[in-house]
Structure 1
């Protein structure tokens, strides 16, 4: 009887934890585009602001690390990842994006260790650029 009770408790715990901690699915390119286009999102890593990206029409982007110049680029979907290429560096930088509490969570997959970024602010205002790509 004790074994049956322990077994039932274990199954109940597994069901509850599975419901609460279900793996989130990665956004598709269309889902990412629908969410991000027209927004300027600020991302943080480990509670510290990491950078800001403005998502323009036609999958164009403008990115800046904190206190850095803006970089112009574009993104595309490749095998379930969202990859960015910037004018200053043609090496694709690929990420997976998921929704977490109504905000984006991104994981860098191009090289370990994986960087994880969380959306901490969003606006429709253009990215304020401090470098050569100033303007909208």
Structure 2
């Protein structure tokens, strides 16, 4: 995780306003078949695997994975997860020099996530109720 944190720190200086928001087509072309790690403020935040048919698997790096899908709405990429079908999480994605920059659009907290490429780590999903 230290390696991931160091890589994420490099993306903090990228100016967000200078980049154009990605269309759904551009986002799909960039992400399909990939597993991308994201950071916030130089710290590891989460990981998402992008599957066929705009399906995704998300984890906050805790081994608990959430399955869902994404769609485009009003220029934003919105994610709906199976455990919260009525609560879409909408983001504006931009391509920065080091990868994706994601701006959360659902509230005023202005959460920005940065993609960390080639971190050499795998996405881990434990089965339901492991150890129970």
Considering the TM-score relative to the shorter chain, is it more than 0.5?
yes
Shift of 1:87: 0.6
Q: What is the alpha-carbon distance in structure 1 between the residues aligned to residue 116 and residue 19 of structure 2?
A: 19
Taking the aligned partners of 2:63 and 2:89, their CA distance within structure 1 comes to: 18
- Whose helix proportion is higher, 1 or 2? 1
After TM superposition, the runs of 4+ consecutive aligned structure 1 residues lying more than 3 A away are none
**TM-score, length basis structure 1:** 0.76
Pairwise CA RMSD: 2.5
Deviation at 1:133, TM superposition (A): 9.8
Match of 1:58 in 2: 53
Which stretches in structure 2 are left out of the alignment for 5+ residues? Answer: 1-14
Structure 1 residue 132 displacement after superposition: 2.3
2:23 counterpart of 1:28: yes
Would the alpha carbon gap of residues 39 and 133 (structure 1) be closer, same or farther in structure 2, given more than 3 Å must change? farther
Residue aligning to 1:118: 114
Q: Tell me if structure 1 keeps the 8 A contact 2:61–2:124.
A: no
1:14 aligned residue = none
Could you tell me which runs of 5 or more consecutive residues in structure 1 were left unpaired when the two chains were aligned.
Answer: 1-19
Bigger shift: residues 36-45 or 113-122: 113-122
Shift of 1:22: 6.8
1:22-60: per-residue Cα shift (whole Å, max 9, x none)? 721100000000000000000000010000000001000
Check 1:108–1:88 CA distance in 2 against 1; reply closer, same or farther (3 A cut). Answer: same
TM-score of the pair, normalised by structure 2: 0.78
**When the two structures are aligned, how many residues end up with a matched partner?**
114
